[in-house]
Amino acid sequence: KAGVTQTPRYLIKTRGQQVTLSCSPISGHRSVSWYQQTPGQGLQFLFEYFSETQRNKGNFPGRFSGRQFSNSRSEMNVSTLELGDSALYLCASSLGQDLYEQYFGPGTRLTVT
Amino acid sequence: DQQVKQNSPSLSVQEGRISILNCDYTNSMFDYFLWYKKYPAEGPTFLISISSIKDKNEDGRFTVFLNKSAKHLSLHIVPSQPGDSAVYFCAARGAQKLVFGQGTRLTINP
C-alpha cells in the first residue's frame, strides 16, 4: 500500500505570494492532518479534516487554510506569505477519527525569501 | 503554552547502552500518548504508544512508561543501535488533535 505523498517536496516563494500544498493520504484513510515544523518548535498542529469537514484548527492566522476533497486528498493554502512561514509542512493521515497511529508524508519544505 | 515538553534537545548514548527520552505534559485530559521517530528529509514514523489507563507498553527494544501522577512519560531503547540516531517526538492526544513536543535529537555513538 502506498504511503502518504506530498507535493511539491520543495518550494521557494517570495514574501506576499501565496502557495498551495497537496497531500494524498494512504488509500482508505479518511482523516488528514497538517502540521508545521520549525526548528525548536516541534510540530505545530494546523488543522485536521475528516470526510471533507474541518474538525479542528490550530492557533494559526487566517492566512492558513485548507480543504479536503471527496477522495480524501487534501490541500493547504497560505496567502500573503511571510518570512516566518518558512518551514517543513507535514501531512498525516489516519484511518478513522481517533487519530490513532497517524502516518506522515515526507513533507514540503517551503522557503520564503 | 507548551502542553507537551521535551526538555532535552539532544542526547548522546553509546551503542549497546540504554537510551532514555523524557516527555512532560500539563493537560490531564490527554488520553493517549505516542512516540515518533524522524530521520532527516523524511516524515515522522510512528514508534510506540500507550493509553492513559496503562503505565507501561513494550515492543521489542522499545518500552514506554507513563507516570500519570507526575504527568511524565519516557521512552526506553535497549540496546541502542546506530540506526536509532534520529529526532524523537512525543505526542499526546486530546480534544481531537495531537499535541507534539519539540523533539529530542538522539545520537548513538559507536
Which pLDDT does position A1 carry in this prediction? 64
Residues of A in Cβ contact (< 8 Å) with B23? none
Closest CB from B4, B45, B98 relative to A99: B98
Contact A42, B99 (CB under 8 A): no
Tell me, yes or no, if A41 comes closer than 8 A to chain B by beta carbon.
yes
* Pairing label, strands B104-109, B10-14: parallel
Which pLDDT does position B1 carry in this prediction? 63
Residues of A in Cβ contact (< 8 Å) with B41? 106
| B46 with A107: Cβ contact below 8 A | no
Rounded to an integer, what distance in angstroms lies between the CA atom of residue B97 and that of residue B80?
A: 31
Q: Rounded mean pLDDT of chain B?
A: 94
| A90 with B43: Cβ contact below 8 A | yes
Which pLDDT does position B97 carry in this prediction? 82
Look at the block and give the residue holding cell 528529509. Answer: B41
Q: What are phi and psi of A70, to 5 degrees?
A: -65, -20
Listing DSSP states for A27-88 in one string gives TT--EEEEEEEETTTEEEEEEEEETTEEEEE-S--TTEEEEE-TTS-EEEEE-S--GGG-EE
Rounded to an integer, what distance in angstroms lies between the CA atom of residue B22 and that of residue B8?
A: 8
Which pLDDT does position A99 carry in this prediction? 67
Rounded to an integer, what distance in angstroms lies between the CA atom of residue A83 and that of residue A46?
A: 18
Look at the block and give the residue holding cell 537510551. Answer: B19
Mean pLDDT of B57-75: 97
Please give, rounded to a whole number of angstroms, the shortest distance from the CA of A101 to a CA of chain B: 6
Asked whether residue B42 carries a pLDDT value surpassing 90, the answer given is no
Q: What is the pLDDT of residues A58-83, one digit of tens each?
A: 999 999 999 999 999 999 999 999 99
Q: What is the pLDDT of residues A92-107, one digit of tens each?
A: 999 877 766 789 999 9
